[in-house]
Amino acid sequence: MSDHPTTPETGDAALTGALNSSFRVLRWLMALVAGFYIFSGVFNVHQGERAYVLVFGKIAGLAGERLLEPGLHWTWPRPIAEIVRIPTERVQTVDSGTFWYREENQSSGTLRPGTDGYTLTGDANLIHSKWAIRYSVIDPEIVKFRLADLESILQRELDHAVLQCTARRAVDQALRTEIESLRSAVDATLRQRAEALALGIRIDRVDVLALAPPRQVTAAFASVIESEQDRSSKISAARAAAARSLNEAAGEAARVKSEGETYKRQIVSEVSASADYFTKVYEQYQKNPDIIARTLLQDTLHRVLTGVDQKFLIHRNASGQQQLRLLINPEPQPLVQPAKP
C-alpha cells in the first residue's frame, strides 16, 4: 500500500509520458527499419561472376552497362529489385558420351538401342565416340534469360554435329585416317549452328575424347592394323635392301672406274719408262750392239736366277740335242697328315 493515493491528473500524465516514450521508440524503430531496408540493397559481386539487377522484373541499366562487374554495388532491395548472379568462368566444358557403349554390357554380341550409344558411318558401319566442347559465354543475357538450359542444348547440338559428320565418312576415315578432319568438321558444324541459333556463346574448341570400333569387332580391326604394319615392314625392308644394294653397286662402280684410271696411269707410266729406257740403251747399243745385248741378258739372268729356288743345267747330249723345260710358280703341294693310330 502506498502512503500517497494516485490522482486522475497524475495518471494521465503518466500515460502521456508512456505514450510519448513509445512513439519515440516507434519512430526510432521505423527509422532503423527504413535504414536497414535501404542498407540491405548493398551487395557484392564476387570474382568469377557478374550480375544483373532486375528492377520490377526488367534488367536495369543502359545497353552495354547492364552487366555488373565484381565489386560492391547498391540497388533497391526486394521486392523492387532482384540480383541475378552469373558465373563467368572463362572456359566452360560440356561432355557427351551419347555415342559410347555401356561398360557393363561387355559380353553382349549386339548393341542395345538406348543403352549402347554409337553412330553410323557413311559406309553403314558402327563406331563409338566421346566428345567434349570448350566454350565461353559472350552474351550472359541470352544464356540466363533466353535459354532454359544451355548445357542441354549444347550437348544435343554436339551430338547432332557428330552424327552428321560421321555419316559422311567411311569407318576407316572416322577411326584412323581422318580423325582430325572429322574433329574439325564437327567443330565447324557446331560453330555454325551456335551462331545461327544465337546461343550467346563462342565455341573455343571441340575435342574427340575417344574413338573406337564396337568391341564385337575389335579383333578384326586390330588384324587390319597388324596387316598394315606387316605391309609397312615389308616395304621398309625392301627399301632398306634396295638402298644397300644401290650403295654397294655405287661402291663397285667407283672401284671399277678407279681400276680403269689406275690401269691408264700405270700403262702410260710403264710404256713411257720403257721408251725412256729404250732410248738410253739404244744410244749405247748403236755403238756396240753385241756386247750390250749379251750384258743385258746376263744381268737379267743374274737377277732372275738369284731368286729362283731350283736351277737345273742340262749339258748337250751325245746326239747334240738339248731340252729346256721351265716350271714357273708351281702350286704348293698339300701336306699329307700322318694317319692317327
If one asks whether residue 100 binds another protein (CB under 8 A), the answer comes out as no
Cell output for 217: 569387332
Cα–Cα distance list, 87 to 75, 121, 151 (Å): 20, 38, 14
Q: Which is nearer to another protein, 34 or 209 (CB)?
A: 34
CA distances from 215 to 28, 101, 175, 210 (A): 78, 9, 14, 14
Cell 615392314 sits at which residue? 233
- Residue closer to another protein by CB (options 3, 268) is 268
C-alpha 133/C-alpha 2 separation (Å) is 88
Sketch the per residue contact string, 247 through 266, with another protein: x for CB under 8 A, - otherwise. Answer: -xxx-xxx-xx-xxx-xxxx
Q: Is 338 in the site for another protein (CB under 8 A)?
A: no
**Residue 228 C-beta: closest distance to another protein, Å:** 5
Smaller CB separation from another protein, 5 or 322: 322
Can the peptide bond before residue 79 be classed as cis, meaning omega within 30 degrees of 0?
Answer: yes
Q: Which among 86-94, 175-183, 204-212, 313-321 is the span making contact with another protein, rule CB under 8 A?
A: 313-321
Is 212 near another protein (CB under 8 A)? Answer: no
Burial 123-155 (b: 16+ CB within 10 A, else e): eebbbbbbbebebebeebbbbbeebeebeebbb
280: contact with another protein by CB under 8 A = no
242, 287, 291, 340: residue in contact with another protein (rule CB under 8 A): 242
Which residues sit opposite 86 in a β-bridge?
50
- The verdict on 32 binding another protein (CB under 8 A) reads no
340 belongs to the binding site for another protein (CB under 8 A): no
Q: Which three cell numbers stand for residue 295?
A: 750384258
C-beta closer to another protein: residue 42 or 237:
237
Smallest distance, another protein to C-beta of residue 94, A = 13
Number of residues counted as binding another protein (CB under 8 A) = 133
Q: Shortest gap between Cβ of 253 and another protein (angstroms)?
A: 3
Residues 6+ apart with CB under 8 A from 328: none
Told to check if 303 binds another protein by CB under 8 A, we report yes
| All three cell numbers of 327 | 716350271
Residues 161-200 that bind another protein (CB under 8 A): 163-164, 167-172, 197
Asked whether position 288 contacts another protein by CB under 8 A, the answer is no
- Burial (Cβ within 10 Å: 0-12, 13-18, ≥19) of residue 92: middle
Please give the residues from 66 up to 85 whose contact with another protein meets the rule CB under 8 A: 82
Length of the chain: 341
